[in-house]
Amino acid sequence: MIIKIADIVIDINLIYPDDFISIKDYVVNEDHIDAYINSSFNEFNEELINPISVTTFYDKYKIGNRIIQHQKNEYGKYYAIIEYNGKNINIYNDKNNKFVDEYLLTQYAINYLISDYTSSIFFHSSSIKYNNIGIAFSAKSGTGKSTHRRLWEKYGNAKVINDDKNIITLKNDKLFITPNPWCGKHMRQNNIESTLDAVVFLFQSKENTIVEISKAKAFKLLLGQIIPPNDKNEEKWNKIVDKLLELPIYYYGCNMEEDAFNVIKERIESDYANK
């Protein structure tokens, strides 16, 4: 199928397309193709030696102009290989891989294409559109981003854009939340775009309190939730981060009751009205 995400047109071939329901909202009829992702039950027959990097979840190798990513599960067992060759990406799945494996592996492929070939970066956050205001809630995993997002849906009739893997795009000197079917374990998203007007960093607290922070603190929080740049995209990354730091950034300690929605909503609305 042909999909379009963040202005890049991708010919993507999946093993489990019927299970990836949300991706069908991104299908387009385009005459040109920018990139290719092919996922299949195939073996990778080249020998891999001398990794250029080793992490908990994958080892990376370089063969000529290609980057080979040998994927590991939580137990350290290898279960797939991703081959990056410019805008052509091949995913070699183990015969036992299921949809959840393919979903994660293709997410790596999309991260690579968006980061290297578009005017966008990834921001680990849960985003909503509320009365034409785009808001991204970010925090360490397990803090309650998705739970807080649900408060806005329940009490503010907000529309979720992406629950986990937000694409932040710089267009005409403004930041936008660009839709993306890869959206985390809850798989909540909508194919809608919004300006990004506020960022809320959450931490757990019994009382609902907005803590004033410095730009240096805000920068440190951002660094923990966005993919760092490589040499190829450093200039773009710097421009987007600079624009992020110009936004209202809130450090919000909250519980998960209705008032947690009301307190931050009123502050954001007030600041938005007075900007």
88-93 and 120-124 strand pairing: unpaired
What pLDDT is stored for residue 227 in this prediction?
85
- How many of the other CB atoms lie within 10 Å of CB of 156? 14
Distance between CA atoms of residues 61 and 90, nearest Å: 15
- Residue 193 and residue 175 in contact, taking contact as beta carbons nearer than 8 Å: no
Tens-digit pLDDT profile for residues 213-272: 999 999 999 999 998 877 778 899 999 999 999 999 999 999 989 999 999 999 999 999
For a pLDDT cut of 70, what percent of the chain falls above it? 100
Torsion of CA 164, 92, 52, 221, to 10 degrees: 0
pLDDT confidence tier of residue 140, bands split at 50, 70 and 90: confident
What pLDDT is stored for residue 144 in this prediction?
85
Tokens for 205? Answer: 């607290």
Angle at 247 between CA 245 and CA 253, to 5 degrees: 90
- Residue 61 and residue 75 in contact, taking contact as beta carbons nearer than 8 Å: no
| pTM listed for this prediction | 0.92
Average pLDDT over residues 62-82: 94
What pLDDT is stored for residue 52 in this prediction?
96
- Closest residue by Cα to residue 105 from 39, 186, 59, 44: 39
- Closest residue by Cα to residue 235 from 109, 115, 113: 115
Average pLDDT over residues 192-196: 97
Question: In this structure, which amino acid lies at residue 173?
Answer: D
List all residues 6 or more positions away from 272 whose beta carbon is below 8 Å from its beta carbon: 133, 197, 198, 248
- Residue 138 and residue 221 in contact, taking contact as beta carbons nearer than 8 Å: yes
Q: State whether CATH 2.60.40.420 applies to domain 121-274.
A: no
Distance between CA atoms of residues 184 and 126, nearest Å: 9
Q: Hey, where are the domains in the chain?
A: 2-118, 121-274
Average pLDDT over residues 96-119: 95
What is the full DSSP assignment across the chain? -EEEETTEEEEEE-S-TTT-GGGGGGB---S---EEEEEES----S---S-SEE-SSEEEEEETTEEEEEEE-TTS-EEEEEEEETTEEEEEE-TT--HHHHHHHHHHHHHHHHHHHSSEEEEESEEEEETTEEEEEE-STTSSHHHHHHHHHHHH--EEEESSEEEEEEETTEEEEE--S--TTTT-B-S--EE--EEEEEEE-SS-EEEP--HHHHHHHHHTTBPPP-TTTHHHHHHHHHHHHHS-EEEEEE-SSHHHHHHHHHHHHHHHHH-
Question: Over 90: is that where the pLDDT of 80 sits?
Answer: yes
Average pLDDT, the chain: 94
